[in-house]
Amino acid sequence: MSKKGYWMAMVSVLDEENYPQYIAANKAAFDKYGAKFLVRGGQSSSPEGFAANRHVIIEFESYEKALACYHSPEYQAALKLRRAFSASHFAIVEGA
């Protein structure tokens, strides 16, 4: 049985007005790959290291699906918007 895969991101939204374009654009990839949001925004504190104004954790059925989603044409199109409207620290990890 494959272990789950997770996207973990700490995002500093730089353009609040246009960032919703990225959120709308990433839906196609997330629907296609069965993404499940565990954390998407909300209150947070950063007692150590990099501070961001948005935190996201997304669960996938497997690490392979998490990677496939990221590299998909659907997400790569959305990624251009994320990079235009924000700065982030991002990782794809295998979990339990």
Cα 7 to Cα 85: distance, rounded to the nearest angstrom: 19
Q: Are 69 and 60 in contact (CB under 8 A)?
A: yes
Q: Are 69 and 75 in contact (CB under 8 A)?
A: yes
pLDDT of residue 78: 97
Tell me which amino acid residue 2 is: S
CATH number 3.40.50.2300 given to 5-44+51-94: no
Looking at the whole model, is its pTM more than 0.85?
A: yes
pLDDT of residue 2: 81
Please state the domain extents for the chain.
5-44+51-94
Burial class (CB in 10 A: 0-12, 13-18, 19+), 49: exposed
Mean pLDDT by 10 residues, the chain (96 residues): 92 95 96 96 85 92 97 97 95 94
